[in-house]
C-alpha cells in the first residue's frame, strides 16, 4: 500500500456546514441517515468523494433527488458522485452492524451499550463523510432505541427527548461548535449518573455528569473531583473557560485508547475513570487525575483548535500532554512529577527513537495514522513545548498561547502556525527550533568542564550529535536548553557569576555543534549539575569524576538530578556486573549512600520511593546494546540483594514506621508514604526467606486498600512458592467479579520473573476470565509480559517471541489497532544479542508472511524488518 505524505496535503474539495445524523439503533442492524449541507471549496467541476468503510449503502440523494445506481460509484473505501452543484444537500442512508464490530472503531457494543470511537478515522465506518480533521461542521444528532437503552447521549446540548409514534425512545442533540467528525460521539444504554456542577470564572454554571455501569457511581467521585480541579486550573493557568452548559464523561470497558476528548462527551476506558480505595491503586488515582485533565484540556487544545491533517497530531497531543503534566505537577509536587514523567519518556520514547519505528514529533508519512499515537508524538511533543517555554520565558510563553487561542479558535491548523505565535510575541527567530518537530532521534549532548582555581573560572563546553534514524541519515544541530548549577564537594549550592551577575543557576542554550560559556567567581572545585529538571530530551554525558554523582545524590538542590545521580550509579554498577566485571566496592558504596538518602529526614517519602527503585531491566537494555536480558536480570538481582542485605534495618524500619492507621486518602503525601512502604517491602523481597515471606503475607492480609494489597502480592510474587500461590487464589476469589481488579491479577502474573512464567502466562490465555477481545485484559496479560518481563520474554529458545507473534496474528483478525500496539517489543530486535535478535526477526518475518494482515500491522512489521 502507498503511504500518505504530508507534502501531498490539499485543502478539502468540499466543506460541510451542517450535518444531521439520524440513528435507528439496533445492535446487529443500525440504520444511519445522514444529511450533509455541502459547499464547494476547490476547483469547479471536481466530483464529490466521500470516505466510508464496511457500510451497506441503502440510498443516496442529492438535493432531494434519489440517485440511480449509475449516478455514483461505490468502492471499498469511497463513494464518488460526479457532476454535483457548488452547494447542495446530500442525503445517504446506510446500515451497519455494531455487534459485529470488534475492531472497536466507529460504532460498537461494549457491555451491551452502544458507544463510539472515531479518532482517527473511525467515523467513516458509521456513514459516508469527508473523514478528515479540516472539515468542521455543526452536528445535530437524533437517535432512537428500544427501552433496553434508556440513556441516549451525544455531543453538545440536549434539544429534545421523548417517544416516537412507534413507542421507542428518542433524543436529539445539537452541538453549536463546528467540529471535525473524529470528535463525534454517541452512547446509548443503561448507565448510572454522578452529577455535579461547576461555576466558571465568568459565572456560568456548567452541569457535570459522569456516566458509569449501574451501581458504580461512587467510583466516579474521584474523576469528578479531578474534573472540577482541571476546569479551575485551566482558567487560572491558561485563561481558558469551558464553553458548553454541559460536560459529560462516560466510562466503557472495551476501549482501544485510554480516553477520548469528544466534544462535550468524553469517553473513557473504565480503567482510567473508576476508583475507590478497595479496588484502585494510588497509581490508578494518579492516572485518572491526569487523564481526566488531559481530555478536558483538549477542549481548547484539540477541539476548538484542531489539526489541519493527521501529521499535525502533536499540535493537540504534545501540547495537551504538556498541559496535563503541568497540572499534575501543581497537584502533586513538581520534582516527583517530573521524575515520573521523565522515567516514562525514557522508557517509551527513547526506546522508540532507537528502534525501527523512530519518527519525528511531526512525521512526514504514514500508512495508518493509528500507529502514530506514540510516545514521540505525545511525550516528546510535550518536551518540545517545555523547551520552548524555557527558551522564551514563562511570560512570553503565556502571551504566545493567548495569541494562538485568539488567532486560531474555530480552525484546523498546523504546527507552523502554532510556533509562529511564539516567534511573534517573543521577537525570536524560532526556525532552528522547528527542527525539533522534524527530526527524529535523541540528541547526545556532551559536557566538558575546565576549572581554573587561580582565576575561579569554569569553562563549560557543550557539544551535540544526533545518531541517524531510519530515513534520516544526516542530522542538524538543535537548540538545546541546558539548565545548570554548581555544587561544592559537600553538596552545597556553589554560587557563581555569569556576565557579572551573581547566580545559583543558569540556562545555557547549546546552539549549533558547540557552545562554550565561562562562569566566574567559582571559588572551590565545582561539581556541575547539568540538565537540571531534565531541561531537554537528550542523553547527556559528561567528564564528571566518579565521585561527583555521590555528591549530587547526597545534596543536589535539584531533586531531579539528585535522583538521576542515583540512577546513573546503579545503572553503571548493574551493567558492569552484567558485562562480567562486577564492582563490589562500588556496590557497597552505593548501598551506603542509598541508606543515607533513605534516612534523610528532609526529603519526602514519594521521592525516596523513586530513589529506591533501580532502573528497570528494559531501561538497562536500552542503555547497553546489544542487550543481554538474562545477564541484566541477574546483575540487577545481585544489586537488589546487596541493598536488601546492607539496608535490612532501614528497610524494615521504613516498612514498620510508614504504616498508615487512619482513613484512606488518595492525596499525594499519603500515596507517597504508601509508595515508600511498598518499595521497602519490595526491596526486602530481594532476599528470600521465611521471615520476609511472613512479612509480605502479613502485609497482603492486613491491606485495607488496593495499593497495599498489590504491594503485598507483588512481594509474594518476587518471593514465589506456596505463599504466592495461595495469595493469588485468595485474590481471585475475592475479586473475580471485578474486571478492573482482575486485570491487575493477570498483569501481576505476567510480570512474574520465575522460570516457568511463560507456561503460566500461556495457560492464562485459556483461563475462563481471559478474553482477547477486551483490550484491557489483553494488554494486562500479553503486553505486560512482552514489555515488563524481559527476563522471560527473551527466553533463549525464542518461546516468548513465538507466544507474542501468535497473539498478534490472532488479535489482528478482529482488532488491528490493538494488535499493532503489540508489535513494538519484537521491533527492537536489532538492540538485542544477535542470536536473540535473529529469533525476534524470524517471528516478525512469520507475521509478515501471514495472509490478510491489517495495514496497521503491515506498516509496523515491515518497518521493523527494513
Ligand atoms: N485523542 C485521544 C487522547 O489522547 C486519543 N487517545 O486523548
Ligand atoms: Zn490527547
Taking residues 738-758, what's their average pLDDT? 97
Instruction: Quote the ligand 1 centre to 21 CA distance (angstroms).
Output: 24
In this predicted structure, what is the pLDDT of residue 42? 83
Residue 456 exposed, middle or buried by CB count within 10 Å (0-12, 13-18, 19+): middle
Is 478 found in the same domain as 396? no
Q: Which residue in 708, 709, 653, 651 sits closest to 681, CA to CA?
A: 651
Instruction: Quote the ligand 2 centre to 237 CA distance (angstroms).
Output: 19
Residue 24 has pLDDT above 90, yes or no: yes
Q: Looking at 438, 461, 495, which one is the last position of a domain?
A: 438
In this predicted structure, what is the pLDDT of residue 662? 85
Find the angle CA(728)-CA(734)-CA(735) to the nearest 5 degrees: 90
pLDDT digits (tens, 9 = 90+) for 90-143: 999 999 999 999 999 999 999 999 999 999 999 999 999 999 999 999 999 999
Q: Is the CB of 379 under 6 A from ligand 1?
A: no
pLDDT digits (tens, 9 = 90+) for 283-316: 999 999 999 999 999 999 999 999 999 999 999 9
Residue 60 has pLDDT above 90, yes or no: yes
Q: Is the CB of 119 under 6 A from ligand 1?
A: yes
Residue 282 has pLDDT above 90, yes or no: yes
Instruction: Quote the ligand 1 centre to 302 CA distance (angstroms).
Output: 10
Residue 160 lies in a domain: yes
Instruction: Quote the ligand 2 centre to 414 CA distance (angstroms).
Output: 16
CATH number at residue 769: 1.25.50.10
The CB density around residue 821, as the number of other CB atoms within 10 Å, is 23
Q: Which of ligand 1's atoms lies nearest the C-alpha of 316?
A: 1
- Residue ID of nearest Cα to ligand 1 atom 2: 260
In this predicted structure, what is the pLDDT of residue 514? 98
Mutate to test the pocket of ligand 1, among 261, 292, 821 (most ligand atoms within 8 A of CB): 261
Is 117 found in the same domain as 175? yes
Residue 296 lies in a domain: no
Taking residues 539-556, what's their average pLDDT? 96
In this predicted structure, what is the pLDDT of residue 1? 81
Q: Which of ligand 1's atoms lies nearest the C-alpha of 302?
A: 1
Q: Is the CB of 257 under 6 A from ligand 1?
A: yes
3 state SS of 372: helix
Q: Is the CB of 370 under 6 A from ligand 1?
A: no
Q: Is the CB of 309 under 6 A from ligand 1?
A: no
In this predicted structure, what is the pLDDT of residue 660? 83
Can you tell me which residue has the cell 468542521? 136
Strand duo 30-40 + 48-51: pairing: unpaired
Percent of the chain with pLDDT over 70: 100
**Ligand number nearest to the C-alpha of 292:** 1
- Our count of domains for the chain comes to 4
Is 476 found in the same domain as 403? no
**Ligand number nearest to the C-alpha of 272:** 1
Taking residues 607-618, what's their average pLDDT? 98
- Ramachandran category for residue 440: left, alpha or beta (phi over 0 → left; psi -120 to 50 → alpha): beta
Is 387 found in the same domain as 533? no
Q: Which of ligand 1's atoms lies nearest the C-alpha of 258?
A: 6
Strands, E assignment, 41-120: 48-51, 56-62, 65-66, 73-74, 78-81, 87-96, 106-110, 113-117
Contacts of 524 (CB under 8 A, 6+ apart): 488, 489, 494
What is d(CA 50, CA 70) in angstroms, rounded to the nearest whole number?
17
What is d(CA 465, CA 771) in angstroms, rounded to the nearest whole number?
46
The CB density around residue 422, as the number of other CB atoms within 10 Å, is 23
Is 155 found in the same domain as 35? yes
pLDDT digits (tens, 9 = 90+) for 411-429: 999 999 999 999 999 999 9
Instruction: Quote the ligand 2 centre to 553 CA distance (angstroms).
Output: 35
Percent of the chain with pLDDT over 90: 99
Residue 834 lies in a domain: yes
Instruction: Quote the ligand 1 centre to 518 CA distance (angstroms).
Output: 45
pLDDT digits (tens, 9 = 90+) for 796-831: 999 999 999 999 999 999 999 999 999 999 999 999
DSSP calls for 241-269: ---SSEEEEEEES--SSSEE--TTEEEEE
Instruction: Quote the ligand 2 centre to 589 CA distance (angstroms).
Output: 44
Q: Quote the cell numbers at residue 371.
A: 500507529
Residue 758 lies in a domain: yes
| Sheet-wide strand order for 186-189 | 106-110, 113-117, 186-189, 151-154
- Residue ID of nearest Cα to ligand 1 atom 7: 260
Domain residues for the domain of 361 are: 306-438
pLDDT digits (tens, 9 = 90+) for 323-374: 999 999 999 999 999 999 999 999 999 999 999 999 999 999 999 999 999 9
What is d(CA 620, CA 526) in angstroms, rounded to the nearest whole number?
29
Q: Looking at 438, 461, 482, which one is the last position of a domain?
A: 438
Contacts of 709 (CB under 8 A, 6+ apart): 700, 703, 731
Q: Is the CB of 863 under 6 A from ligand 1?
A: no
Instruction: Quote the ligand 2 centre to 465 CA distance (angstroms).
Output: 31
Q: Is the CB of 294 under 6 A from ligand 1?
A: yes
Residue 501 has pLDDT above 90, yes or no: yes
Q: Which residue in 128, 348, 254, 374 sits closest to 815, CA to CA?
A: 254
Q: Is the CB of 458 under 6 A from ligand 1?
A: no
Cβ contact 307:316 at 8 Å: yes
Strand duo 412-413 + 480-487: pairing: unpaired
**Ligand number nearest to the C-alpha of 261:** 1
Residue 722 lies in a domain: no
**Ligand number nearest to the C-alpha of 180:** 1
Contacts of 493 (CB under 8 A, 6+ apart): 485, 486, 487, 504, 557
Mutate to test the pocket of ligand 1, among 260, 294, 323 (most ligand atoms within 8 A of CB): 260
Is 504 found in the same domain as 374? no
In this predicted structure, what is the pLDDT of residue 790? 98
564 is catalytic: no
pLDDT digits (tens, 9 = 90+) for 384-408: 999 999 999 999 999 999 999 999 9
Q: Is the CB of 401 under 6 A from ligand 1?
A: no
Mutate to test the pocket of ligand 1, among 249, 255, 317 (most ligand atoms within 8 A of CB): 317
Residue 44 has pLDDT above 90, yes or no: no
Residues in the chain: 866
Q: Is the CB of 317 under 6 A from ligand 1?
A: yes
Q: Is the CB of 743 under 6 A from ligand 1?
A: no
Instruction: Quote the ligand 1 centre to 369 CA distance (angstroms).
Output: 13
Q: Which of ligand 1's atoms lies nearest the C-alpha of 298?
A: 7
Q: Is the CB of 538 under 6 A from ligand 1?
A: no
Using alpha carbons, list the distances in angstroms from residue 626 to 579, 622, 828, 834.
11, 9, 11, 7
In this predicted structure, what is the pLDDT of residue 458? 98
Annotated catalytic residue: which of 121, 295, 317, 587?
295
Q: Which of ligand 1's atoms lies nearest the C-alpha of 260?
A: 2
**Ligand number nearest to the C-alpha of 120:** 1
Q: What average pLDDT does the structure give for the chain?
A: 97
Mutate to test the pocket of ligand 1, among 272, 291, 373, 817 (most ligand atoms within 8 A of CB): 373
Q: Is the CB of 350 under 6 A from ligand 1?
A: no
Q: Looking at 173, 190, 207, which one is the last position of a domain?
A: 190
Q: Which residue in 137, 175, 158, 176 sits closest to 35, CA to CA?
A: 137
Contacts of 111 (CB under 8 A, 6+ apart): 189, 213, 252, 253, 254
CATH number at residue 385: 1.10.390.10
Is 454 found in the same domain as 400? no
Residue 74 exposed, middle or buried by CB count within 10 Å (0-12, 13-18, 19+): middle
Taking residues 718-732, what's their average pLDDT? 98
Using the 8-state DSSP alphabet, how is residue 472 labeled?
B
Q: Is the CB of 253 under 6 A from ligand 1?
A: no
Is the alpha carbon torsion for 60, 66, 69, 70 positive or negative? negative
Instruction: Quote the ligand 2 centre to 298 CA distance (angstroms).
Output: 7
Q: Is the CB of 319 under 6 A from ligand 1?
A: no
| Sheet-wide strand order for 30-40 | 65-66, 56-62, 87-96, 30-40, 14-24, 137-145, 169-179, 157-163
Is 508 found in the same domain as 365? no
**Using alpha carbons only, how large is the chain's radius of gyration in Å?**
28
3 state SS of 332: helix
Q: Is the ipTM of this complex over 0.95?
A: yes
pLDDT digits (tens, 9 = 90+) for 143-179: 999 999 999 999 999 999 999 999 999 999 999 999 9
Instruction: Quote the ligand 2 centre to 551 CA distance (angstroms).
Output: 39
What is d(CA 229, CA 208) in angstroms, rounded to the nearest whole number?
13
Taking residues 81-88, what's their average pLDDT? 97
pLDDT digits (tens, 9 = 90+) for 209-239: 999 999 999 999 999 999 999 999 999 999 9
**Ligand number nearest to the C-alpha of 319:** 2
Is 825 found in the same domain as 744? yes
Using alpha carbons, list the distances in angstroms from residue 493 to 273, 503, 534, 552.
43, 10, 18, 10
In this predicted structure, what is the pLDDT of residue 534? 98
pTM: 0.98
Is 479 found in the same domain as 396? no
Instruction: Quote the ligand 1 centre to 259 CA distance (angstroms).
Output: 6
- Residue ID of nearest Cα to ligand 1 atom 5: 260
Instruction: Quote the ligand 1 centre to 320 CA distance (angstroms).
Output: 9
- Residue ID of nearest Cα to ligand 1 atom 6: 257
CATH number at residue 529: 2.60.40.1840
- Residue ID of nearest Cα to ligand 1 atom 3: 260
In this predicted structure, what is the pLDDT of residue 40? 97
**Ligand number nearest to the C-alpha of 119:** 1
Residue 523 lies in a domain: yes
CATH number at residue 179: 2.60.40.1730
Q: Is the CB of 260 under 6 A from ligand 1?
A: yes
Q: Is the CB of 293 under 6 A from ligand 1?
A: no
Residue 695 lies in a domain: no
In this predicted structure, what is the pLDDT of residue 533? 98
Is 88 found in the same domain as 58? yes
Find the angle CA(697)-CA(698)-CA(703) to the nearest 5 degrees: 105
Is 858 found in the same domain as 755? yes
Residue 620 lies in a domain: no
- Residue ID of nearest Cα to ligand 1 atom 1: 260
Q: Give the up-direction half-sphere exposure of residue 336: CA atoms within 13 A in the CB hemisphere.
A: 20
Mutate to test the pocket of ligand 1, among 230, 272, 298 (most ligand atoms within 8 A of CB): 298
Amino acid at each position: 500500500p502507498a503511504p500518505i505524505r504530508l507534502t501531498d496535503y490539499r485543502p478539502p474539495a468540499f466543506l460541510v456546514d451542517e450535518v444531521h445524523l439520524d440513528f435507528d439503533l439496533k445492535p446487529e442492524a443500525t440504520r444511519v441517515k445522514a444529511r450533509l449541507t455541502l459547499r464547494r471549496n476547490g476547483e469547479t467541476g471536481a466530483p464529490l468523494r466521500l470516505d466510508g468503510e464496511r457500510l451497506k449503502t441503502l440510498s443516496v440523494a442529492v438535493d432531494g433527488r434519489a440517485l440511480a445506481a449509475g449516478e455514483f460509484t461505490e468502492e471499498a473505501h469511497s463513494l464518488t458522485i460526479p457532476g454535483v452543484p457548488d452547494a447542495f444537500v446530500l442525503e445517504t442512508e446506510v446500515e451497519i452492524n455494531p455487534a459485529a464490530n470488534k475492531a472497536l472503531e466507529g460504532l460498537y457494543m461494549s457491555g451491551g451499550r452502544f458507544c463510539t470511537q472515531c479518532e482517527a478515522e473511525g467515523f467513516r465506518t458509521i456513514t459516508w463523510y469527508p473523514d478528515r480533521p479540516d472539515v468542521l461542521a455543526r452536528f445535530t444528532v437524533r437517535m432512537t432505541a428500544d427501552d433496553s437503552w434508556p440513556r441516549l447521549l451525544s455531543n453538545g446540548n440536549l434539544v429534545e427527548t421523548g417517544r416516537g409514534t412507534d413507542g421507542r425512545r428518542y433524543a436529539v442533540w445539537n452541538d453549536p461548535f463546528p467540529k471535525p467528525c473524529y470528535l463525534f460521539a454517541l452512547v446509548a444504554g443503561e448507565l448510572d449518573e454522578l452529577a455535579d456542577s461547576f461555576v466558571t470564572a465568568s459565572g456560568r454554571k456548567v452541569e457535570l455528569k459522569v456516566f458509569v455501569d449501574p451501581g458504580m457511581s461512587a467510583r466516579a467521585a474521584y474523576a469528578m473531583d479531578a474534573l472540577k480541579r482541571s476546569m479551575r486550573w485551566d482558567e487560572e493557568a491558561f485563561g481558558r473557560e469551558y464553553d458548553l452548559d454541559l460536560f459529560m464523561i462516560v466510562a466503557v470497558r472495551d476501549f482501544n485508547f485510554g480516553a477520548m476528548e469528544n466534544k462535550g462527551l468524553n469517553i473513557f476506558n473504565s480503567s482510567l475513570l473508576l476508583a475507590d480505595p478497595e479496588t484502585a491503586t494510588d497509581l490508578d488515582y494518579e492516572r485518572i487525575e491526569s487523564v481526566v485533565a488531559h481530555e478536558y484540556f483538549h477542549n481548547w487544545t484539540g477541539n476548538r483548535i484542531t489539526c489541519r491533517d493527521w501529521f499535525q497530531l502533536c499540535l493537540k497531543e504534545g501540547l495537551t500532554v504538556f498541559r496535563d503534566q503541568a497540572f499534575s505537577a501543581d497537584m502533586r509536587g513538581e520534582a516527583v512529577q517530573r521524575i515520573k514523567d521523565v522515567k516514562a519518556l525514557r522508557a517509551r520514547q527513547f526506546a522508540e527513537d532507537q528502534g525501527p519505528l523512530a519518527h519525528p514529533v511531526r512525521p512526514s508519512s504514514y500508512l495508518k495514522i493509528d500507529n502514530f499515537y506514540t510516545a514521540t508524538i505525545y511525550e516528546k511533543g510535550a518536551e518540545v513545548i517545555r523547551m520552548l517555554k524555557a527558551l522564551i520565558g514563562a511570560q512570553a510563553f503565556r502571551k504566545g498561547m493567548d495569541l494562538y487561542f485568539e488567532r486560531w479558535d474555530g480552525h484546523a491548523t498546523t504546527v507552523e502556525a502554532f510556533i509562529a505565535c511564539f516567534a511573534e510575541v517573543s521577537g525570536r527567530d524560532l526556525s532552528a527550533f522547528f527542527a525539533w518537530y522534524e527530526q527524529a532521534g535523541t540528541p547526545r549532548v556532551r559536557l566538558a568542564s575546565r576549572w581554573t582555581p587561580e582565576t575561579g573560572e569554569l569553562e563549560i563546553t557543550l557539544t551535540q550529535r544526533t545518531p541517524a534514524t531510519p530515513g534520516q541519515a544526516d542530522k542538524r544541530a538543535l537548540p538545546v536548553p541546558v539548565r545548570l548549577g554548581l555544587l561544592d564537594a559537600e553538596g552545597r549550592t556553589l554560587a557563581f557569576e555569569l556576565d557579572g551577575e551573581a547566580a545559583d543557576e543558569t540556562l545555557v542554550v547549546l546552539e549549533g555543534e558547540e557552545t562554550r560559556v565561562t562562569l566566574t567567581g567559582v571559588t572551590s572545585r565545582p561539581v556541575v549539575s547539568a540538565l537540571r529538571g531534565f531541561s531537554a530530551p537528550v542523553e547527556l554525558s559528561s567528564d564528571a569524576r566518579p565521585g561527583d554523582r555521590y555528591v549530587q545524590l547526597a545534596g543536589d538542590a535539584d531533586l531531579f538530578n539528585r535522583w538521576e545521580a542515583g540512577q546513573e550509579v546503579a545503572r553503571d554498577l548493574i551493567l558492569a556486573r552484567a558485562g562480567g566485571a562486577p564492582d563490589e566496592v562500588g556496590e557497597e558504596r552505593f548501598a551506603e549512600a542509598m541508606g543515607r538518602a533513605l534516612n534523610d529526614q528532609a526529603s519526602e517519602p514519594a521521592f525516596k520511593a523513586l530513589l529506591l527503585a533501580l532502573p528497570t531491566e528494559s531501561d538497562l537494555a536500552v542503555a547497553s546494546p546489544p542487550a543481554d536480558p538474562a545477564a541484566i536480570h541477574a546483575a540487577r538481582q545481585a544489586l537488589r540483594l546487596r541493598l536488601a542485605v546492607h539496608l535490612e534495618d532501614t528497610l524494615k524500619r521504613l516498612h514498620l514506621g510508614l504504616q498508615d492507621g487512619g482513613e484512606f486518602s488518595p492525596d499525594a503525601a499519603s500515596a507517597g508514604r504508601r509508595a515508600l512502604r511498598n518499595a521497602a517491602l519490595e526491596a526486602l523481597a530481594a532476599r528470600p526467606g521465611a521471615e520476609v515471606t511472613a512479612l509480605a503475607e502479613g502485609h497482603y492480609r492486613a491491606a485495607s486498600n488496593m495499593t497495599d494489597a498489590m504491594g503485598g502480592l507483588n512481594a509474594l510474587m518476587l518471593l514465589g512458592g506456596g505463599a504466592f500461590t495461595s495469595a493469588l487464589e485468595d485474590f481471585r476469589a475475592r475479586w473475580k467479579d471485578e474486571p478492573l481488579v482482575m486485570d491487575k491479577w493477570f498483569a501481576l502474573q505476567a510480570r512474574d520473573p520465575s522460570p516457568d512464567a511463560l507456561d503460566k502466562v500461556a495457560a492464562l490465555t485459556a483461563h475462563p476470565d481471559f478474553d482477547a477481545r477486551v483490550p484491557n485484559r489483553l494488554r494486562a496479560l500479553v503486553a505486560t509480559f512482552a514489555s515488563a518481563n524481559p527476563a522471560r520474554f527473551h527466553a533463549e529458545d525464542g518461546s516468548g517471541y513465538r507466544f507474542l507473534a501468535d497473539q498478534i496474528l490472532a488479535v489482528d483478525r478482529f482488532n488491528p489497532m490493538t494488535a499493532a500496539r503489540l508489535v513494538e517489543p519484537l521491533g527492537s530486535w536489532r538492540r538485542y544479542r544477535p542470536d536473540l535478535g535473529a529469533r525476534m526477526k524470524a517471528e516478525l518475518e512469520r507475521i509478515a508472511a501471514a495472509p490478510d494482515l491489517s495495514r496497521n500491522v503491515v506498516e509496523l512489521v515491515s518497518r521493523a524488518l527494513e
